[in-house]
Structure 1
Amino acid sequence: MNKLLISLLVSVGITGVAHASGDAAAGQSKVAVCAACHGANGNSAVGNFPNLAGQNEQYLLKQMEDHVSGRRTIVEMTGMLDGYSEQDLKDIAAYFSSQPVVIGQADAEQVEQGEAIYRAGLADKGVAACSACHMPSGQGNDPAKFPALSGQHPEYTLSQLQKFAEGSRDNDPNGMMRDVAGKMSEAEMRAVAQYIRGLN
């Protein structure tokens, strides 16, 4: 059932393309406040803050919109988007999406397990492969608003998996990530997070 739902959502995302209509050049002048945590080009120097560089434009826009509307609570971003228009958010998303992500070094001891989960899932637990939505190379699916994962900090990835598992983050479509993360052990989450850091 999970695989069917994922397939349907991916198909709907691909056929229901809606562009974010952001202007990357305009966005560059609007990201000064973002740079303190995410880096001027979207590559964060601190693992607790996500890399935004190379992230899918529509996914970034959705997360900012969800935060502004209260659909997603990001404590560290409280007040950060106040005063920004919808077009500003589109421009910021376009700017960060256009920047190259810096791929990191994965923990060699966890790569094998992490890759197995990312590419094949956990059949005995009913966990679909991460690559089904986030693609084999980790570029995600922009029309479906599924995020790119390639190069993401393991600390951030782990924290988001934990939040989905406990339900404190719930802005995933149809509870997909809550279902997946809720069936994973912390060790499995850590392995996947490490693998994603070096995924290219």
Structure 2
Amino acid sequence: MADYREIITKAICGKGKKSSQSAHTVTPAHKPSNILGCWVINHKYKTEYQKDVVIVEGTYDINTWYSYNNNTRTEVACETVSYRDKVQLSLRDKNLISDKVECTCRPLQEPNCLEAKISSSGNRVVAHVEREFLVEVIGETKVKVQVDDDGLVEATLDDDDDDDELEKELSGLDSELLTDEDEDE
């Protein structure tokens, strides 16, 4: 007859992903005639865990290249903006041993300007920015393992399920497609 043991370990106890868009207003020094380009740089962020959500707060610079004076001159307007995203945890282990947790955050989509246009007043630029984050909450939890009569852990890996999934994925591929290397020949 097998016994069970409980192991206390650090594990991913929560996961969440969020994609968001924001509209930011940039005020250039001159009245813009046309928007020539807009990009986002210097992205910095930090995270904070609060119950069922992870708060991601950060800043980035929006650089807008524009023409003015009836398209005779150009300039770049730079403005630092801040944001605050609440990422809901879709996967959450409620059996945490301690309230002390770590949060990791990884941008799946770095902040990127989707569109920049001159505002209706004509004096400002409205930049639409997208971003996406994956957050993980790491904490202490208990794992229950089965041990045999000699006190050894009985671990079984069911590789057949993984092989079946891989076979299904590979069966849908068209073997006639060329790779980049094939095209060079």
TM-score, normalised to structure 1, is: 0.18
Bigger strand fraction: 2
TM-score, normalised to structure 2, is: 0.19
Bigger helix fraction: 1
Radius of gyration: which is bigger? 2
